Amino acid sequence: MRLYYMTSHEIATKYVLPERRMKLSLFDELNDPFELQPYSLDDKVLRRIGRVLRSHFTTTSKGLLCFSDNWRSPVMWAHYANKHKGVCLGFDVSDDGLDPLVGPVVYNPQRLQFVLDQERELFGIDEEFIRALLYTKSHEWAYDASGAHWLI
């Protein structure tokens, strides 16, 4: 599949093309203060687990690169390509080679529900839970990123 990365002309010509590197966006520097918090946190233990996981992803220099499968979105050009003056770079990404690193962002109208299972290892927190934690955002952000994919 082809994924697109929008940036300013300056960043593309100074870093991306000559040095073959892009800026990793750290989770605690993103514009959504509720990043990594897609679950309903009614349960006290789940809130504590959520804080630990958020701390892990924000203090260990983990982050993401944001791509889109749609280069035609005027909103994406406005927000990420220097107000329509920047560039859009296309990258061919293997459909089966990078999973679970690359995935589409899922926009949900409600917080996800999760019930801790004391019978299971780690209370049932598994790869599916973590994947939803990383790739789920509120539906209110959907306007911002048409066809968004994140590379974690």
What's the domain range around 34? 2-151
pTM above 0.85, yes or no: no
Q: Say what the pLDDT of residue 87 is.
A: 97
| Long-range contacts of residues 10-18, Cβ cutoff 8 Å, at least 24 apart | 11/86, 12/86, 12/87, 12/89, 16/89
> Over the chain (152 residues), what is each successive 10-residue block's mean pLDDT?
92 95 87 88 90 88 86 90 96 72 87 91 90 89 72 62
Q: Are 71 and 1 in contact (CB under 8 A)?
A: no
The answer for residues whose C-beta is within 8 angstroms of residue 67's C-beta and 6 or more apart is 3, 4, 5, 91, 102, 148, 149, 150, 151
Helices (H), the chain: 9-11, 17-19, 44-59, 74-80, 127-135
Task: Name the domain count of the chain.
Answer: 1
